[in-house]
């Protein structure tokens, strides 16, 4: 689908302007992995329509999303802790 790259840019920009989180599903799949690998692999991770994930594919993608959320949470907590160590300007 040739418009995927454009759609990703628009979604990312909309999220940035709205100040909401954005997680790139395309990147979650492994960047430019060919659909043949996702749909035709054994076991298949997506349906032959190149749109819908199988249960196994959804589970794998959900795990990557959860890992990304946990990673960012840990990163956020570390930044917050390091800011707490700075002297206050009171």
In the prediction, which pLDDT does 16 show? Answer: 95
Model pLDDT for residues 61-79, shown as the tens digit of each residue: 899 899 989 998 888 888 8
Decide: helix, strand or coil at residue 85: coil
Q: What is the mean pLDDT of residues 33-50?
A: 70
Q: How far apart are CA 26 and CA 4, in angstroms?
A: 8
Q: How far apart are CA 49 and CA 85, in angstroms?
A: 53
Decide: helix, strand or coil at residue 55: helix
Spatial CA neighbour of 39 closest among 17, 21, 57: 57
Higher pLDDT residue, 62 or 84?
62
Backbone φ and ψ for 53, nearest 5 degrees, come out as: -80, 150
Q: What is the mean pLDDT of residues 11-36?
A: 79
């Amino acid at each position: 689908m040739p418009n995927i790259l454009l759609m990703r840019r628009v979604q990312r920009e909309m999220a940035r302007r709205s100040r909401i989180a954005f997680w790139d599903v395309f990147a979650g799949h492994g960047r430019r992995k060919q659909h043949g690998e996702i749909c035709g692999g054994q076991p298949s991770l997506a349906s032959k329509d190149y749109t819908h994930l199988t249960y196994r594919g959804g589970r794998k993608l959900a795990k990557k999303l959860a890992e990304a959320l946990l990673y960012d949470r840990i990163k956020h907590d570390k930044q917050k802790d390091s800011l707490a160590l700075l002297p206050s300007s009171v």
